[in-house]
């Protein structure tokens, strides 16, 4: 769409201003281009597309309730109390506008110059994409006194019910029901937890909107997320297991074009920083100008307060990172569509330059004032910053000493269990943490000696969530792991010293294996979080089946399968007379099989572990690491495929 056209559409919305660009075929041919993946995250993306539209309505002041119902047949309904999708006849195309919107891509025209929309980023390719990837798609609209109904099947290709009027109403709103097409997706099983968390997150951000969810597959209970305290409540829940130094601090200014809300809290027993930012209620995972503006203002306000009140030690100002240890902050901006700009690899980095000064000026004023008015809070915050500053200075000194004295980098002993890689190119080296000595033995044989190191783990690691750092250090598994990685831990963790480019957890594909994964991830989350943030922690996915013909040791043909779909394909590929071997553990594979399926770069499958949702992480840790073993077992059994992280083929070196 040309700039001129776009302007015209943005300036005045009417039912003619929809720009028809292309049909839906392309979406079915290349679904990943529109929704990222056809695995579980892509499936849920279909729901976010619809919810985003409902949220946009609420954001612009139309409706304060959004409901989602997951049905027994695998379909899902999203309803809102917005204006309703326009149903009048489109003058140029001579068909109902709703039909046009649901069957064409990039239909513009929805937003006027001052509209705030969730659709600025990855989202907003629109309801039509959901239609294109659905077995059926059904919309009921209340608008202009009428109730309208339209229905599509087969990815929007069959209009099985042209727009009809089915009644009169004084209400307004849209109700959409659709069922994802099983021919497109690897799974069509909506995950209650994933949808629940997304809605809860939205409810934190849209203080005045009810988000109601019902899962008819389980029961008829409705949960209603509604947070009067919005972001402050979000922070309180994220930090509920930590020692907060105060209640969350909250500032907002919604009187300007760029509307800003910021909530923050420091915790004394935390040295990580958690920054969550949003633009028009869509997470900006890669940060951007709003986060930069916040960081600048925070450092400036704290340094000035500390200087004025003579709280600095040796007159050294704080560095930016000193003032963010143990800080949780949520920044939420609403920006009109006209000035939104996204950048970055996944278009989730805010580029709008106006946002930097807007956030920085706003937050500097508010926070400086707050520090002056709340003495105890200011003293506690600065105490925490002094501690971080001191630790940073000590760590730097120690590093310098190591360098000048040529002392070894590690005080902890190197384990004799570790089987090292030959290469000294740390970026290319991989550390496999392997469950059990026997699988460890196989892995030692199977590995690429040049780049792959093996560290076998005996038994289950401790749950670091419930023990002190001293106890963690006394544990041999963990002290070995820290020494092996070679970059320290906790506040002194220095990722530049890490001896591996990838750290890969390799366990059996059973409940115990999943538990070990979680325990190790808990360790990394608490003591080496930068490794997770940098995407260096992985889980290896071993195949579930081998389909082969002939002798088990010397098959004439064999295929490995990672899931049931692949198993079906595998049976066909191998042909009549096939045998199926179901792997229950890594130990059942010989070294060659282990190498070819799970360790070799171009054939293995790895899951990269990421923290997309800190709330989800906290909840998971509570379920998985808490005291209720029944709840834990149930969760692990239901979620053993780690569905919230996306499978991807390992990139080739």
Report the interface residues with ligand 0RA, using CB under 6 A. Answer: 13, 50, 53-54, 57, 80, 82-83, 85-86, 101, 110, 127, 174, 176
Rounded Cα gap, residues 256 and 253, in angstroms: 7
In angstroms, what is the minimal distance from the CB of 81 to ligand 0RA? 9
Q: Per-residue DSSP letters for 330-364?
A: EEEEE-BGGG--EESTTS-EE--THHHHHHHHHHH
Other C-beta atoms closer than 10 Å to the C-beta of 135 total: 19
Q: Which one from 253, 343, 365, 512 is the annotated catalytic residue?
A: 512
Cβ proximity to ligand 0RA: between 145 and 351 the closer is: 145
The tokens for 206 are 């849209």
- 3-state class (DSSP) for residue 67: strand
Least separation, in Å, of the C-beta of 633 and ligand 0RA?
Answer: 39
Give the dihedral sign, CA 295/300/305/311.
Answer: positive
- 154 as an active site residue: the answer is no
Name residue, tokens 């990837």.
133
Q: Which is nearer to ligand 0RA, 176 or 520 (CB)?
A: 176
Q: Which residues contact 269 (CB under 8 A, 6 or more apart)?
A: 242, 243, 326
Tell me the closest approach of the beta carbon of residue 52 to ligand 0RA, in angstroms: 8
Nearer residue to ligand 0RA within complex by CB, 83 or 324: 83
Host H or E run for residue 403: helix 375-405
On whether the CB atoms of residues 43 and 185 are closer than 8 A, the answer is yes
How crowded is residue 405: how many other Cβ atoms within 10 Å of its Cβ?
8
DSSP-derived secondary structure for 474-525 = HSHHHHHHHHHHTS--GGG--GGG-S-SEEEEE--SSHHHHHHHHHHHHHHH
Q: Toward ligand 0RA, which CB reaches closer, 69 or 263? A: 69
Nearer to ligand 0RA, 127 or 200 (CB): 127
Sign of the CA dihedral running 288, 294, 297, 302: negative
Q: Does residue 460 contact residue 435 with C-beta atoms inside 8 Å?
A: no
Query: Which two three-digit tokens encode residue 307?
Result: 């200087």
Q: At its nearest, how many Å lie between ligand 0RA and the CB of residue 507?
A: 43
Task: For residue 144, indicate whether it is catalytic.
Answer: no
CB of 174 to ligand 0RA, least distance (A): 4
CB of 479 to ligand 0RA, least distance (A): 55
- Is there a catalytic annotation at residue 508? yes
Residues 6 or more apart whose Cβ sits within 8 Å of residue 178: 46, 50, 75, 76, 130, 131, 134, 135, 136, 137, 138
Q: Is 435 a catalytic residue?
A: yes
Given the residues 153, 435, 477, 613, select the one marked as catalytic: 435
CA distances from 180 to 163, 317, 566, 645 (A): 22, 56, 20, 20
Beta bridge partners of 456: 434
CB of 13 to ligand 0RA, least distance (A): 5
Which residue reads 């909506």 in tokens?
190
Residue nearest to ligand 0RA (CB): 53
> Of residues 508, 558, 613, 618, which has the active-site annotation?
508
**Other C-beta atoms lying within 10 Å of the C-beta of residue 213:** 20
For ligand 0RA, the closer CB: 7 or 633: 7
Nearer to ligand 0RA, 79 or 598 (CB): 79
**Minimum distance from residue 649 beta carbon to ligand 0RA (Å):** 35
Tokens of 587: 């130990």
CB-wise, 174 or 647, nearer to ligand 0RA?
174
Positions annotated as catalytic residues are 435, 508, 510, 512
């Amino acid at each position: 769409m040309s700039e001129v056209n776009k302007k015209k559409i943005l300036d005045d919305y009417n039912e003619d201003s929809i720009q028809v660009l292309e049909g839906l075929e392309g979406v079915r041919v290349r679904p990943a281009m529109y929704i990222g993946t056809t695995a579980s995250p892509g499936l849920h993306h279909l729901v976010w597309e619809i919810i985003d539209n409902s949220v946009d309505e609420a954001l612009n002041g139309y409706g304060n309730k959004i409901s989602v119902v997951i049905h027994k047949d695998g379909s899902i309904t999203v309803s809102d109390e917005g204006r309703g999708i326009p149903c009048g006849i489109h003058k140029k195309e001579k068909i109902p506008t709703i039909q046009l919107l649901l069957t064409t891509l990039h239909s513009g025209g929805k937003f006027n110059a001052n509209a705030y929309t969730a659709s600025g980023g990855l989202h907003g390719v629109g309801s039509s994409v959901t239609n294109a990837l659905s077995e059926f798609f059904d919309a009921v609209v209340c608008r202009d006194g009428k109730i309208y109904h339209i229905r599509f099947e087969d990815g929007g290709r069959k209009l099985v019910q042209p727009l009809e009027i089915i009644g009169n109403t004084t209400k307004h709103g849209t109700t959409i029901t659709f069922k994802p097409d099983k021919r497109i997706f690897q799974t069509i099983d909506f995950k209650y937890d994933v949808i629940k968390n997304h809605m809860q997150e939205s409810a934190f951000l849209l203080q005045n909107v009810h988000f109601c969810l019902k899962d008819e597959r389980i029961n008829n209970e409705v949960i209603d997320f509604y947070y009067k305290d919005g972001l402050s409540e979000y922070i309180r829940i994220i930090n509920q297991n930590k020692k907060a130094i105060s209640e969350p601090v909250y500032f907002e200014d919604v009187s300007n074009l760029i509307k800003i809300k910021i909530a923050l809290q420091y915790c004394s027993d935390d040295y990580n920083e958690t920054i969550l930012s949003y633009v028009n209620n869509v997470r900006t995972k890669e940060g951007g100008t709003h986060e930069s503006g916040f960081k600048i203002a925070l450092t400036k306000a704290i340094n000035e307060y500390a200087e004025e009140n003579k709280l600095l030690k040796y007159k050294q100002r704080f560095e930016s990172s000193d003032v963010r240890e143990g800080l949780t902050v949520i920044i939420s901006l609403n920006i009109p569509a006209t000035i939104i700009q996204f950048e970055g690899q996944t278009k989730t980095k805010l580029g709008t330059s106006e946002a930097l000064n807007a956030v920085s000026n706003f937050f500097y004023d508010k926070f400086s004032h707050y520090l002056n008015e709340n003495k105890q809070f200011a003293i506690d915050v600065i105490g925490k910053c002094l501690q971080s500053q001191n630790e940073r200075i000590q760590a730097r000194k120690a590093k310098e000493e190591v360098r000048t004295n040529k002392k070894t980098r590690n005080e902890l002993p190197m384990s004799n269990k570790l089987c090292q890689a030959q290469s000294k190119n740390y970026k290319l080296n991989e550390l496999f943490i392997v469950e059990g000595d026997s699988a460890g033995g196989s892995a030692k044989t199977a590995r690429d000696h040049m780049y792959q190191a093996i560290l076998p783990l005996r038994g289950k690691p401790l749950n670091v969530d419930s023990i002190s750092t001293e106890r963690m250090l006394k544990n041999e598994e963990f002290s070995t792991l820290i020494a092996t990685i070679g970059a320290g831990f906790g506040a002194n963790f220095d990722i530049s010293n890490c001896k591996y480019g990838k750290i890969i957890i390799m366990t059996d594909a059973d409940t115990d294996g999943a538990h070990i994964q979680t325990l190790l991830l808990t360790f990394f989350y608490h003591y080496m979080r930068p490794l997770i943030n940098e995407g260096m922690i992985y889980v290896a996915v071993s195949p579930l089946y081998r389909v082969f013909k002939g002798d088990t040791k010397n098959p004439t043909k064999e295929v490995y399968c990672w899931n049931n779909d692949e198993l079906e394909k595998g049976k066909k590929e191998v042909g009549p007379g096939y045998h199926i071997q179901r792997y229950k553990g890594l130990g059942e594979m010989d070294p060659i099989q282990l190498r070819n399926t799970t360790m070799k770069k171009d054939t293995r499958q790895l899951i990269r572990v990421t923290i997309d949702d800190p709330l989800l992480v906290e909840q998971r840790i509570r379920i998985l690491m808490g005291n209720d073993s029944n709840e834990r077992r149930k969760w692990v059994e239901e979620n053993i495929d780690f569905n919230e992280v996306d499978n991807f083929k390992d990139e080739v070196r």
